[in-house]
Amino acid sequence: MMEYRFNFTPRLVALGLFTGVALLVLLFSLGFQLGVRMAAESPAPAPVAHERVAAAPKAAP
């Protein structure tokens, strides 16, 4: 059976920390850009309920 032994050298730990921080920074900037883009969009006007009711024909009693 093969056995692998990983030794965490200071260089490997520093590389892992750097890539973790870089990933967090990139995710934060992506979320920030999406938030700015969503805030800049104007919301679509919602249909008003009473206009649809007023346009419906009334039934004769």
pLDDT digits (tens, 9 = 90+) for 27-39: 999 999 999 998 8
Global pTM reads 0.57
Arithmetic mean of pLDDT, 20-29? 98
Grouping H, G, I as helix, E, B as strand and the rest as coil, residue 59 is coil
- In eight-state DSSP terms, residue 1 is -
Got the DSSP string for 2-58?
A: --------HHHHHHHHHHHHHHHHHHHHHHHHHHHHHHHSPPPPPPPHHHHHHHSPP
pLDDT digits (tens, 9 = 90+) for 35-56: 999 888 776 776 666 655 555 5
